[in-house]
Amino acid sequence: MTRVIKQNKAVYYIRGFLSPFFRSDAETLIRRLEKKMTAEDKKEIDSRLNYYNKLTGKEPFEFSGNRINDLRHPVSPKAYYFDTYQYAKHFHHDLFINYEFGDVTYIPAMPSIVKSRPVEGDNRNSVLLKLDKARHFVFVEGDKPLHEKKDRLIGRGAISQEHRIRFFERYYSHPMCDLGKINDNGQHKEWLKPKIPIKDHLDYKFILSLQGYDVATNLKWVMSSNSLAVLPKPTVETWFMEGTLKGGEHYVEIADDYSDLEEVLEYYISHPKEAKEITENAHRFVAQFRHKEKEDLLSLFVLRKYFASQR
């Protein structure tokens, strides 16, 4: 039976508001979590730590005036404050912390905590933390096998950005696609269709996963399913490390201008073994984000390295 694994929003917000009342010492907590890690875990954590936080300790620091304690007074979007404070609260509350919350697709002038950053370029000042995770880190379990799914591409989403509009203009009526726009912004009303649950997407072999203002929100749950994520090479990344994903290995890659979509879909329909290998690789990639204690330890390490770089 298919299950969608995600956080209950009400419980998430209650925990966020109660979080200041449950604090520990960062080093004590780190030592406790480290004892539970295997040698292989520690190797993975070191690699991911240096990917998320590329600071060398030689970067110039200026501060916005925000301290850890200021995170206790969240403003919208509150999820970013809750997710940062969940780990930052274990460090001294007077430490300075730069953060830029929201869909960040640029590199901050000074080292800052962000949810997202460009894949290319010197992105050291963009220190990734697992932010807005209740929305982004959703997974699927118990999905039916790939060979039982329809040989079509499904796509549902808010269609506002120019690159998403271009895709719909080209493929909305294509027989290999079932596309629908779920946001009524007064434009392209002919594309409007009702929002459907994740489980209904899983009837299809291919699921569209185009970037939005930053990354594609659905990419995590698509890659945890037995369907294939279809997207161009990512240009923005988050804690999910989209920049390390490989087309043809973790997802079905299409051209930036979408011109080869039909050819690519037909290829994987006629090569089911290769298609299944992609889903298996995707599952292995997703698995590293589903170990709670490892994720907790890594989040603490990212912040500890960030604060140490200030000295």
Question: What is the residue-level pLDDT of the chain in tens, covering all 311 positions?
Answer: 899 998 877 777 677 677 766 778 999 999 999 999 999 999 999 999 999 999 999 988 988 889 999 999 999 889 999 999 999 999 999 999 999 999 999 999 999 999 999 999 999 999 999 999 999 999 999 999 999 999 999 999 999 999 999 999 999 999 999 999 999 999 999 999 999 999 999 999 999 999 999 999 999 999 999 999 999 999 999 999 999 999 999 999 999 999 999 999 999 999 999 999 999 999 999 999 999 999 999 999 999 999 999 87
On whether the CB atoms of residues 236 and 117 are closer than 8 A, the answer is yes
Tell me the domains of the chain and their CATH numbers.
7-136+290-308 (no CATH), 139-287 (3.40.50.2000)
Query: What DSSP string runs through 42-86?
Result: HHHHHHHHHHH----S-S-----S-BGGGGGS--SSHHHHHHHHH
Number of H helices, E strands in the chain: 11, 12
Query: Which of 135, 181, 131 is CA-nearest to residue 161?
Result: 181
Using DSSP, state whether 5 is helix, strand or coil.
strand
| Sign of the CA dihedral with 161 first, then 166, 172, and 176 last | negative
Q: Which residue do the tokens 């499904």 mark?
A: 154
What is the distance between the alpha carbons of residues 219 and 144, in angstroms, rounded to a whole number?
18
On whether the CB atoms of residues 100 and 114 are closer than 8 A, the answer is yes
Residue 97: what are its φ and ψ, rounded to 5°? -145, 120
Q: Which residue do the tokens 């392209």 mark?
A: 188
Question: Which run of H or of E encompasses 156?
Answer: strand 150-157
- pLDDT at 20 (0 to 100): 66
